[in-house]
Amino acid sequence: MPLLRRKSAPPPAVEKPEPPQLPEPPAAGPNGLRSMADHRDYLLSCIEPLPPFGQQILDSVGLSLCEDVTSAISLPRFDNSAMDGYAVRAADVADASEQSPVSLPVVGEVPAGSPAPHKLSPGSAMKIMTGAAIPEGADAVVPYEATDRGATDVRITEPSAVGQHVRRTGEDITAGTVVLRAGEHLASRAIGLLAAIGVDKVMVRPRPRVVVISTGSELVEPGLPMDNEQQIYDSNSYMLASAAKATGAQVFRVGLVPDDPERLKQVISDQLVRADLILTTGGVSQGDYDIVKQVLPELGATDFTQVAMQPGKPQGFGLIGEDKTPIIMMPGNPVSAFVSFEAFVRPVLRKLAGTAHYLRPTVRIFAGHPITSVAGKLQFARGVVHRTEEGERTVELAGGHGSHLLGGLAAANALLLIDEDTDFVAAGDEVDAWLLDEDS
Amino acid sequence: MPLLRRKSAPPPAVEKPEPPQLPEPPAAGPNGLRSMADHRDYLLSCIEPLPPFGQQILDSVGLSLCEDVTSAISLPRFDNSAMDGYAVRAADVADASEQSPVSLPVVGEVPAGSPAPHKLSPGSAMKIMTGAAIPEGADAVVPYEATDRGATDVRITEPSAVGQHVRRTGEDITAGTVVLRAGEHLASRAIGLLAAIGVDKVMVRPRPRVVVISTGSELVEPGLPMDNEQQIYDSNSYMLASAAKATGAQVFRVGLVPDDPERLKQVISDQLVRADLILTTGGVSQGDYDIVKQVLPELGATDFTQVAMQPGKPQGFGLIGEDKTPIIMMPGNPVSAFVSFEAFVRPVLRKLAGTAHYLRPTVRIFAGHPITSVAGKLQFARGVVHRTEEGERTVELAGGHGSHLLGGLAAANALLLIDEDTDFVAAGDEVDAWLLDEDS
């Protein structure tokens, strides 16, 4: 049939893309606000750990293992010496002592990594190094310290039991054993074990790739001059990028975008290709220039809400673009952004990375002075934790309540969590806290 | 004078290089062994923190600041609004209430980042966004929530005090204040503060560059086939490289060098150019093939000693090459190497990086079962720490005593320190421990 007359097939049914949707968000509390824990758990429920990939073991430290690892070999692989000394038959030195040493001819030498030159005959000894294979015929090692270190003959001054100073094949690990399980966080000891069983690559979850964007026409890049008296330096993108880095993420700081909806949409769309998570600050509140809130619904499914916490009340979340990339949209005040990171972003990053514990442990610390709070919201106060001489921890507030007070935030080493029902903490009472520094 | 006849100048006096020397090492104890703490403090006394260099703030998170940073600007830089709302004169709204709202004409709008269009006249209001500069003539902000959000006229239903919702210039930081001090560990909050005051680069101590070498002719690279039955996979260089990485170092894993003195000398000499610290394992004991101990004195000043600890007794240290680069030479058994890293290398790395606390905090943990130990030496046992339901920590031993038992080491999350005078710890007694994982 001539080509031109061929009846054209009906056009393929255009699959209408499903309108993007988020799972049903949790109900607000009686005050119309969502609780911090509800919001965090909602975000966690909307994301999954990143898919595993194969990685060199040296680049896997700190990552989460995604497979059970079975050892193909035993450790030790072969009976070997735990000491530098002489391989013997225990029976030949059973009567050795300082008073009546036993003298044996030295019939060879076994360095680590090489086979013994020959079998050990009864009544002789073979020099052996730590880690070297026990020669056939030997069943014990006499360490140098119990000998005269002789080269052709050796005087042995202590008896030795069968198996003494011999590391037995498989006494550490038996071939076929699962040595590490999926989900394990790979510390240096585990990397050493993987190498020891000959494994050079493992399946791990990658470091999440995080794109950080701050919005606001008032922002200027640090290091650059200001144009007018009303501008401020962009601190959020630097702070959040650093915090994400310290949480193990691979970070792309895009920096500042002015309050221009088209520009913002373009920047975010361009970044989707390299993002496992996008973070924005600013533009989520009630203001007329809150463009994040305006624009983001065009890019995917979003949830803008008010959380019963202070600072950090206005919060946005979405799954955007083709890959439903998660985006967390935080308020623009620096302290609000930091608290939002700790409350929401850090747990999400840890889930993406496959870490077992998403949440910082909450510790109880004695208040060093009275602390007032506002009931009805979870207050995140910035605190400086000290250890008393007795090793007890006490905390004092750093800076004031304002969500713009970066000086106090930088001085703080803890966030205090003062719950909805509390408006006063007396000196000496315990408060909940998240310790922000490894050493605090 | 013709060139050829010119009298040749006397050859320049060859400056005889000073023979390399280490400070006097600490005296050994009564058992002829050096204590762990003495050896560690000796190593620390032989090295200095790395010299500072200028670094972009985003690459400085986790590093140690080497200068006092003074803010050139105040924060806030200008009086600005803490809320989205209307800038007013407080006097004009003093009587406003739900019952008798005050109506004011809206004479303009101040977005963040731009100056007010003009001065605010008495009896009028100007729309203002969070962070925008308070217009001249205004002294308070009425938030949207207390208004009808009017565009040409606004009805205000609450009074406002002078200064309400106004963030005052300098109330966070005053220009000229030192905001961060030399020695400070730069967390994300500090990076945010630096950005906020417009600082894009700071002097910090760099990450130490660590070269890791394992020695031994019996070693085979993981992933490669073995040649004979007496070989083992190199695990130390992977474990130590990972541990150094996790401590914040930049790591070059050179890997395995056979027991060949010339080859070892060459490899170490080649690496000096990029090393702030060199780590080796193996070859420091009494064996005939202990080439590290043989060769290193040719490269600089060295100190090989026996430390009263188990595992990890034979230890070497040196300052080698032109730059007196520190080298720590550890025993080759994997558990010995790991314990040596924790006891000596980690504190040295932290001092090189300018970190304030070199040592892991020692915590007291309840023994979950009886633990026997050998008196006369500090025992490093591998432990698994659990938290009981009441939040108390208890510890059980992981694996056996042998310094070749990598399986137990990988399972451990703590090192127990059982001192020289103790040979038995009863179940329920407290033992000293170093917690190896952030979360344990």
Average pLDDT on A364-380 reads 93
CATH 2.170.190.11 in chain B: give the residue spans.
80-167
- In chain B, the N- to C-terminal Cα span, in Å, equals 82
pLDDT in tens, A177-199: 999 999 999 999 999 999 999 99
Among A165, A186, A194, A242, most B C-beta atoms within 10 A, so best to mutate, is A242
> Quick one: A260 exposed, middle or buried, by C-beta within 10 A (0-12, 13-18, 19+)?
middle
Phi, psi of A141 (to 5 degrees): -125, 130
Of B115, B238, B332, the CB nearest to A192: B238
Q: By the CB < 8 Å criterion, does B242 face chain A?
A: yes
What ranges make up the beta strands (E) of B111-208? 125-128, 140-143, 153-156, 166-167, 178-180, 201-204
3-class SS of residue A322: coil
Count CA atoms closer than 13 A to B210's CA, side-chain side.
29
Looking at the complex, report in whole angstroms how far the Cα of residue A285 sits from the nearest Cα belonging to chain B: 9
- Among A208-222, A246-260, A378-392, B305-319, the least confident range: A378-392
Encoded amino acid at B198, one letter: G
Q: By the CB < 8 Å criterion, does B205 face chain A?
A: no
3-class SS of residue A18: coil
The helix or strand, by DSSP H or E, that contains position B303, with its residue range, turns out to be strand B300-306
Structure tokens at B317: 């240290």
Count CA atoms closer than 13 A to B338's CA, side-chain side.
31
Check: CB of residue B213 under 8 Å from CB of residue A252. no
Tell whether the model's pLDDT for residue A6 goes beyond 90: no
3-class SS of residue B120: coil
pLDDT in tens, A341-351: 999 999 999 99
Q: By the CB < 8 Å criterion, does B114 face chain A?
A: yes
What ranges make up the beta strands (E) of B157-216? 166-167, 178-180, 201-204, 209-215
Phi, psi of B344 (to 5 degrees): -120, -45
pLDDT of residue A4: 47
Cβ of A195 within 8 Å of Cβ of B233? The answer is: yes
Phi, psi of B169 (to 5 degrees): -50, 130
Q: By the CB < 8 Å criterion, does A277 face chain B?
A: no
CB-based burial, A16-51: b 16+ in 10 Å, e otherwise: eeeeeebeebeeeeeeebbbbebbbebbbebbebbe
Phi, psi of B178 (to 5 degrees): -75, 115
Looking at the complex, report in whole angstroms how far the Cα of residue A81 sits from the nearest Cα belonging to chain B: 11
pLDDT in tens, A108-130: 999 888 889 999 999 999 999 98
Distance CA B249, CA B240 (A): 11
HEC string of B333-364 equals: CHHHHHHHHHHHHHHHHHHHCCCCCCCCCCEE
Q: Band of the pLDDT at A440, cuts 50, 70, 90?
A: very low
Structure tokens at A413: 């080493």
Beta-bridge partner residues of A354: none
pLDDT of residue B403: 78
CATH 3.40.980.10 in chain A: give the residue spans.
36-50+207-352
Chain B positions in Cβ-Cβ contact with residue A193 (cut-off 8 Å):
235, 406-407, 409-410
pLDDT of residue B14: 58
Cβ of B179 within 8 Å of Cβ of A410? The answer is: yes
Structure tokens at B193: 């503060």
Nearest Cα to B213, choosing from B301, B297, B337? B337
What ranges make up the beta strands (E) of A10-117? 53-56, 69-70, 80-81, 85-88, 102-110
Looking at the complex, report in whole angstroms how far the Cα of residue B367 sits from the nearest Cα belonging to chain A: 21
- In chain A, the N- to C-terminal Cα span, in Å, equals 82
CATH 2.40.340.10 in chain B: give the residue spans.
363-435
| ipTM of predicted complex | 0.89
What letter does residue B389 receive in the DSSP assignment? Answer: T
Identify the CATH homologous superfamily for domain B80-167.
Answer: Molybdopterin biosynthesis moea protein, domain 3. (2.170.190.11)
Looking at the complex, report in whole angstroms how far the Cα of residue A288 sits from the nearest Cα belonging to chain B: 8
Of all residues in chain A, the one with the smallest CA distance to B111 is A289
The helix or strand, by DSSP H or E, that contains position B319, with its residue range, turns out to be strand B314-320
Check: CB of residue A381 under 8 Å from CB of residue A416. yes
Check: CB of residue A219 under 8 Å from CB of residue B113. yes
3-class SS of residue A396: strand
Phi, psi of B142 (to 5 degrees): -100, 120
Mean pLDDT by 10 residues, chain B (440 residues): 49 60 93 96 97 97 96 96 94 95 96 89 95 95 95 96 95 96 95 97 98 95 91 97 96 93 96 97 83 94 96 96 97 96 98 91 94 92 89 87 86 95 94 81
CATH 3.90.105.10 in chain A: give the residue spans.
53-75+171-204
Of B238, B357, B404, the CB nearest to A195: B238
> Quick one: A428 exposed, middle or buried, by C-beta within 10 A (0-12, 13-18, 19+)?
exposed
Got the DSSP string for A126-185?
A: EEE-TTPBPPTT--EEEEGGGB---SSEEEE-S---TTTTEEPTTSSB-TT-EEE-TT-B
Distance CA A340, CA A337 (A): 5
3-class SS of residue A440: coil
Cβ neighbours, 10 Å, residue A119: 12
Nearest Cα to A204, choosing from A179, A188, A183? A183
Pick the residue with more confidence: A21 or A138?
A138
The B residues from 130 to 189 touching A (CB cutoff 8 Å) are: 130-133, 144, 167, 171-173, 179-180, 185, 187-189
Output the CA–CA distances (angstroms, integers) from residue B265 to B56, B268, B271, in the order listed. 37, 5, 10
Cβ of B113 within 8 Å of Cβ of A231? The answer is: yes
Phi, psi of B433 (to 5 degrees): -150, 150
Nearest Cα to B79, choosing from A232, A256, A288, A238? A232
Distance CA A325, CA A323 (A): 5
Nearest Cα to A282, choosing from A269, A298, A296? A296
pLDDT of residue A374: 87
Of A199, A242, A357, the CB nearest to B439: A357
Beta-bridge partner residues of B325: B320
pLDDT above 90: percentage of residues in chain A: 82
Domain B53-75+171-204 has CATH 3.40.1190.20: no
Chain A positions in Cβ-Cβ contact with residue B188 (cut-off 8 Å):
239-240, 242-243, 245-246, 338, 341
Cβ of B230 within 8 Å of Cβ of A133? The answer is: yes
Average pLDDT on A28-45 reads 95
3-class SS of residue A87: strand
> Quick one: B12 exposed, middle or buried, by C-beta within 10 A (0-12, 13-18, 19+)?
exposed
Among B142, B144, B210, B239, most A C-beta atoms within 10 A, so best to mutate, is B239
Tokens 């903490």 appear where? A425
Cβ neighbours, 10 Å, residue B110: 25
pLDDT of residue B438: 65
Give the sign of the dihedral formed by CA B287, CA A188, CA A180, CA A437.
positive
What is the CATH number that goes with domain A36-50+207-352?
Answer: 3.40.980.10
The helix or strand, by DSSP H or E, that contains position A309, with its residue range, turns out to be strand A309-310
Domain B363-435 has CATH 3.10.129.10: no
Cβ of A233 within 8 Å of Cβ of B196? The answer is: yes
Nearest Cα to A159, choosing from A242, A223, A97, A252? A97
Average pLDDT on A381-393 reads 88
The B residues from 50 to 69 touching A (CB cutoff 8 Å) are: 57-58, 61-62
Q: By the CB < 8 Å criterion, does B91 face chain A?
A: no
Looking at the complex, report in whole angstroms how far the Cα of residue A85 sits from the nearest Cα belonging to chain B: 8
Check: CB of residue B138 under 8 Å from CB of residue B108. no
Distant-in-sequence, close-in-space partners of A392: CB < 8 Å, separation ≥ 6: A366
Structure tokens at B310: 């188990």
